[in-house]
Structure 1
Amino acid sequence: MSKMTGAVEVKGKGGGVTLEYRGKSYAFDSKAPVKADYYFVSHAHVDHVYGGLKENLIASKETVVLARERGYSLPDPISLEEVELYDSSHIVGSKSILIDDKIFYTGDIALHARGFLKAPKLPKARILVIETTYGHPKYLFPNPAKVVEEVNKLISKMYEKGVPVALCGYPLGKAQMLSYLFSTWEPIYVQESIIRLNEVCRSFGIPIKSFTSYSEAKEKGLLEKRPWILLAPSYTLKSGMMKFLKKKYDVVTFYFSGWTLDRRFGNNGADYSFPLSDHCDYMDLVKVVKHVEPEKIFTVHGYANEFSIELKKMGYDAEPLTIKQTGLDEFYRSD
């Protein structure tokens, strides 16, 4: 779908967004080949990266290194005079982009400061392209600090009983935050894919402790000395590994995602679930809009239609961009 705003054309294309402005074309977070002059990758989650880029990449150095660690071949990023990048507080290295002080694309964004991520600064812009993963009014997240407090109390109860706990979340983003937020507990063992990503983030100065890997702990018999904490990807919740740990060590599983507020996804097979998200909820998305003060708004991903309708009720000129997606489960996996 193509939308014209004065001399600006915005489209949903290649799983992302394309922009035509002043004779130049920009592709934002395209997952498929798209012809453009410049390509912006907001962060290194797989639903935002196309690994076939050869040149003219706009991204943070952290995003490029993390994407390469995950098997994507990305060129070194460039800088442009008309482009300014803003921290988006989604994951390590995530950025929003402002073009010519007029057009602001959020990429995935979160407003709450949490752990090592600070609350983002937002510019003013005439045109706003905003992600709406949780753009339905039913998504209202609790304060992250309160979630962490609740989790710590529950871990304490488990430790008093000698019960080990598995903290599960998306391996890039959520896992680093869990590594930081719950690092005071001992001992902590970490699944290998998270270990590698933690090491990359530590090289950027992110204050994540170095932990013993799960395989080493298993090999040395450290799992026999209970209780302990395991940091593992959310996809392991229904895996043979987790079934083994529950059967042999009575492991209790904790799952972290904003989607835990949705009955369709629920606990994802975990014993306990917590709505700790790396995105804005509905009210925070509204706050982004109010701060940016745009004349025109395009909503993308997730609940784009619903959020645009809510914005129209508030008097904004808003409309959704149609982007081919496999469904909300695509975003569920990456939160």
Structure 2
Amino acid sequence: MTEFRLTQYGTGGGCSCKIPPNELETLVAGFAGSSGSPAGDLLVGIDHGDDAAVVQMPGDAYAMVATTDFFPPVVDDAYDFGRIAATNALSDVYAVGGEPVMALNLLGWPRGVLPLELAHEVLRGGFAVTQAADCHLAGGHSIDDPHPKYGLAVTGRAHPDHLLRVDAGAPGVPLTLTKPLGVGVLNTRHKATGEVFGEAIDVMTTLNRDAARAAVASGVRCATDVTGFGLLGHLYKLARASGVTAVIDSAAIPYLAGAREAVRDGYVSGGSRRNLDWVAPHCDFGGVPEDECLLLADAQTSGGLLVAGEIPGHPIIGELVPRTESVLIVK
């Protein structure tokens, strides 16, 4: 099956395929808020763009978490694609402080173009990740699709008193990043050249479970994960929702090997450039070079957690301060 390069069968790949954040906010405008359903109280909805929905069920000590995520291939290897997509989907549950319980496959496949054996490898990768996460994988849905796509619909649970939210940030709190940046530009290079970046695959297939558990245990109440809107986009949403300004120390940001070279050589996705354009009116970049800003806006796939708090073993990359004229300040 090595003659099939999956990244060549889609218009994009990974989380860089997200609808641009400014368009998405317009698209979902007016749908926020609770229905007042007797089935449960909506604790986290789409008001601020949190990573998953959370509902408190009557008489249950835990709240139910629900999310879904899918995208076209971000790498050529089918098994790795399945692992990456599944890890990314589970991340939304961890990002709100929850634990995944059950997942369902979401598969689109060009059955007359790509062998079903490759689709099996994608599903096998997803199964391996859910097994590692102690999460049931129980069926799902598939369609005949011109472009291959894969992901999961995930249900989990979280304690309502220990939720991680994007609107709970406070001045004086440090910002921690739990995975290095750069997978976006490396994936773009991979799609164009076929070069394989093993470190990037390792990062994208590492569950955010341990980092989320450490955050909850440390009393953290504000976090998100870094995916398609890049570090700048997700941090802007967090700071805006929390009514604070986020200050980033660009020298403290960890990057994957080869990321800077990929930007230098022009392997920047359109999604990353749109991310930067979106936050630019709200950001003070000082004298930070454009290539550095593009890396900070790089559309990540299955990125790490961005935590308003300190998590041992992970770098502090900035802090939250009282709101100033700029929502983001990069130094």
Normalising to structure 2: TM-score of the pair? 0.24
Q: Considering fraction of residues, name the structure with more helix.
A: 2
Higher Rg: 1
Normalising to structure 1: TM-score of the pair? 0.24
